Amino acid sequence: MSIHRLIVAVLLAGTASAQQSADAVRVVSRPAERKVTLPGEFSSYLWVDLYARVNGFVEKVYADRGSVVKEGQTLVKLVAPELAAEVAEAESKAQAARSQRAEAQAKLAAAQSTYEMMKAAAATPGAVAENELIVAEKSMEGARSTLNAAESSLEAAVSAARSRKDLEAYLSVTAPFDGVVTTRFVHPGALVGPAAGGAATPMLRLEHNSHLRLVVAVPEASVAGTIKGAQVAFTVPAYPGETFHGVIARISHSLDLRTRTMPVELDVDNANLQLAPGMYAQAQWPLRSSSAVLLVPPASIVTTNERQFVIRINGGVAEWVDVARGAAAGELVEVRGALRSGDLIVRRGTDEFREGTRVDVRSQ
């Protein structure tokens, strides 16, 4: 082969090697949506320890651990002999006050009648002495004062009797809401009440578990992307392979200074009581940035010992653009660098695409 032909062959080979074919994609710009796994813990939507509001003895307990109860249902019946005696005494005093008022009313009526007759007779000169008329008037006023005092005493006695009677209603302890009795603390014969001795002991613990709160501690860096009303998927160790859902309902808007996290509550429907307070969950927490980010396929990013870059096709020529890799967003990944939305880049990057190489785009 002549030297001229050899040179031509080398030039042709160099030209062929300087052009490569590749599939290309466009750089996408949109608010980033991604998910991180965060731990959470369930708590009851409502819960309360039920105490006795009056001193007495437990006569009957109608619910036990695991009992499903309805609002207003009687759970515990108490007996209080001292209270019954106090009610009887208060009612007796009220009855006595009624008798005193009736007597005072009769005396006032008599005094008033006497005064009216004497006043009429006094119209005839000399029929009634003036002093007698004054005495009758004073007697009527005294009877009226006695009646007023009797009515005040009766009102106080009736109020006291009613208060004691109202206390008897506390001998029946009822459920303040629908729920499940999760703990039982007392049995028949136990002394309960505010003055039962020592610290007051609850009788039952009631929890509303058909609706749960899932509390998730969201890291400070992820707080901005937390959106009220967003649906969140989660799993629990008790039911492997099963996915549940809740809705972000309450954001505390305050960080725990020890952990630098913000408690966020999800409302979780639990009508079948499958989940329980105290369980742990792994929530797939949605994060959304307020500003747009650049997204590319993960395969477009080339990583070497010296740099990390994507291959932009600018005027049909390969151009290496350094990028920093961010978080995954579905099938794409966030990048930061000298790129613009809509830039054309090689779908599957490789450092074999040297800068300056002409690229034949097969498809976009």
* Residue 85: Cβ-neighbour burial (10 angstroms; 0-12, 13-18, 19+): exposed
Distance of CA 32 to CAs 22, 26, 58, 229, Å? 27, 16, 61, 18
Domain membership of residue 118 (yes or no) is yes
Characterise 168 by phi-psi region: left (phi > 0), alpha (psi -120 to 50), beta (else). alpha
Tell me what pLDDT residue 12 has: 39
Tell me what pLDDT residue 328 has: 80
Tell me what pLDDT residue 198 has: 54
Tell me what pLDDT residue 237 has: 95
Q: What's at 325, amino acid-wise?
A: R
Q: Hey, which residues does 36 pair with through a beta bridge?
A: 285
Tell me what pLDDT residue 200 has: 79
Tell me what pLDDT residue 10 has: 39
**CATH number of the domain enclosing 192:** 2.40.50.100
* Residue 75: Cβ-neighbour burial (10 angstroms; 0-12, 13-18, 19+): buried
Q: Where a domain ends, among 242, 273, 290? A: 290
The residue segments making up the domain with residue 284 are 35-44+206-290
On whether the CB atoms of residues 344 and 313 are closer than 8 A, the answer is yes
Q: pTM of the predicted model, to two decimals?
A: 0.60
**What is the rounded distance in angstroms from the CA atom of residue 302 to the CA atom of residue 321?**
10
117 and 188 inside one domain: no
Q: 313, 317, 316, 308: which is closest to 27 by C-alpha?
A: 313
| Distant-in-sequence, close-in-space partners of 169: CB < 8 Å, separation ≥ 6 | none
Q: Where a domain ends, among 122, 147, 169? A: 169
Instruction: Give 127-182 pLDDT, tens digit per residue.
Output: 667 787 788 888 888 888 888 888 888 788 777 777 777 678 888 999 999 999 99
- Which ranges of the chain have pLDDT less than 50? 1-17
214 and 276 inside one domain: yes
Question: How do 74-79 and 317-329 pair as beta strands?
Answer: unpaired
Largest CA distance in the chain: 173
Instruction: Give 18-59 pLDDT, tens digit per residue.
Output: 688 889 999 999 876 677 899 999 999 999 999 998 888 999
In 123-272 the beta strands, taken as DSSP E runs, fall at 172-174, 179-184, 191-192, 204-219, 231-235, 244-251, 261-269
Which tokens sit at 46? 């409502």
72 and 97 inside one domain: no
Which residue is it, tokens 């996290």? 261
67 and 183 inside one domain: yes
On whether the CB atoms of residues 79 and 171 are closer than 8 A, the answer is yes
125 and 235 inside one domain: no
68 and 180 inside one domain: yes
58 and 93 inside one domain: no
151 and 180 inside one domain: no
Tell me what pLDDT residue 5 has: 42
Domain membership of residue 5 (yes or no) is no
Domain membership of residue 2 (yes or no) is no
93 and 231 inside one domain: no
Which tokens sit at 149? 């005092």
96 and 118 inside one domain: yes
**What is the rounded distance in angstroms from the CA atom of residue 189 to the CA atom of residue 58?**
5
**What is the rounded distance in angstroms from the CA atom of residue 69 to the CA atom of residue 92?**
39
198 and 57 inside one domain: yes
**CATH number of the domain enclosing 222:** 2.40.30.170
Tell me what pLDDT residue 66 has: 93
| Distant-in-sequence, close-in-space partners of 143: CB < 8 Å, separation ≥ 6 | 104, 107, 108, 110, 111, 112
Tell me what pLDDT residue 32 has: 67
**What is the rounded distance in angstroms from the CA atom of residue 359 to the CA atom of residue 256?**
54
Domain membership of residue 225 (yes or no) is yes
Structurally, the chain folds into a number of domains equal to: 4
